[in-house]
Structure 1
């Protein structure tokens, strides 16, 4: 017959074995840091709220309008103003255009910082968001190397645009911005910002297209897919109204 000590030992061993046989539970998620709280609050406001969507529409209209005005002034398609007056309007239009280009350079900065920090974290594998949770946001599904290249191009785009903006403030008149060193600073950094922005956008579209090819059911069509779909519809003989209706269904 076992003693009471033996019974206690047997009970303890049984309890330990039961604990060991239980499936391990996931450790609770760590509390968010101050940076993560700010990020998760700020990004939806900047990129998902109706207010900023309205700002985006207004911004596009202003860029198109001022860009057209700048083009007309540059090629001489305007009223027969004296040269000094036409130069003043030409300079004003490029100053406004430069300021408009600085708006996305400011708005996209939180996005750039958030993704740069995320890319250097252990949870940056494709398919998971900032918090390490599965997501259908297609940018998170790009390979880290592709995201790194896109972020680098966006950083060049933003930084050179701010230098360009400084140059336009430093050399505000037509004469100063078209003579050395104003002409070099204003034009070189404008071109660098423009090329980096366009290159980053095109590269991102191509990379996202590759992701959609691998799993087209998981993601909505992007601009390239929509263009290809519309082209195929036109080839099949569909009218414009039929194409619009078909796209709205999807």
Structure 2
């Protein structure tokens, strides 16, 4: 029915017809974030037997530090903070837009300007946090690719990995990582500019900050978008080529959720109709 077709993912979650666990969101790697189920396996340091098979006797200090930082960055704590981060970004952006258009009626004008600048500080801090949490993943892949040892289907240690990320050809991975690192560097530069120019006059009026702040914001966002788009396209190619090998992508997962929602609604209607016929 039309009602079933229009039911949204939001409705599914609110009505508890489907849970986040059932959506298998832990299997969907957010661009630049190592939270996919199989990607986490790459952070498990090799055993002595595995090292021997690789022709090595011990891990380097860099490898131990890399694995430890990646395990921290991919922990459930940060995953659970994602919804909070999204809400804060949305609320902060709405307040920023309302104050920019002077729709909140804050008087005097200097007071509105003060809070407008503070809202940009909050937004910048939120995006800097997102980049900071994923720095270990971005840098680990940077050094892995620069080392010339990256190959299709192999993790940082050269072990076979079922993770979709490592199935992307190294050259394509390198393009994605270049955009990821550019996104982080530009965002950190944007944050430094915000810290050193923390008044309305210095950030919105005075040069060069008034030009550099929006420039670093736009270029950082563009780099992040391109990284996510490239990763999505490459992973989608692999999913289509081997659908039985890799977990479904976001589009497939949401379609599955929608189908489950429709089935739940149809079952409820059938039950109500059966009860009504019995009473009659």
Task: Give distance in 2, aligned partners of 1:242 and 1:91.
Answer: 47
Answer yes or no: is 1:196 the counterpart of 2:247.
Answer: no
Offset, 1:121 = 3.3
Q: How does 1:1-250 map to 2 (within 5 A)?
A: 28-47=55-74, 49-179=75-205, 180-227=207-254, 233=259, 239=262, 241=264
Which stretch of the first structure deviates more once superposed, 182-191 or 69-78? Answer: 69-78
Aligned to 1:178, what secondary structure does the other structure show?
A: helix
Task: Give distance in 1, aligned partners of 2:221 and 2:264.
Answer: 35
Offset, 1:240 = 7.7
Task: Give distance in 1, aligned partners of 2:109 and 2:198.
Answer: 18
TM-score (norm 1): 0.78
- CA separation of 1:119 and 1:242: change in aligned 2, threshold 3 A: farther
Question: Any gaps of 5 or more consecutive residues in structure 1?
Answer: 1-24, 244-250
Root-mean-square deviation (CA, aligned residues, Å) is: 2.3
Offset, 1:61 = 2.1
- CA separation of 1:26 and 1:197: change in aligned 2, threshold 3 A: closer
Offset, 1:27 = 6.3
Task: Give distance in 2, aligned partners of 1:27 and 1:178.
Answer: 56
CA shift digits 1:178-230 (9 cap, x unpaired): 12211111111111101111111111111110111111111111223335656
Task: Give distance in 2, aligned partners of 1:198 and 1:189.
Answer: 14
- CA separation of 1:44 and 1:192: change in aligned 2, threshold 3 A: same
- CA separation of 1:227 and 1:146: change in aligned 2, threshold 3 A: farther
Offset, 1:106 = 1.4
Aligned to 1:239, what secondary structure does the other structure show?
A: helix
Alignment coverage as a number of residue pairs = 214
Tell me which of the two structures has the higher relative contact order, counting C-alpha pairs closer than 8 angstroms and 6 or more residues apart.
Answer: 2
TM-score (norm 2): 0.70
Contact conserved, 1:157 with 1:197, CA < 8 A, in 2? yes
Task: Give distance in 2, aligned partners of 1:55 and 1:211.
Answer: 30
- Dislocated runs of 4+, deviation >6 Å: none
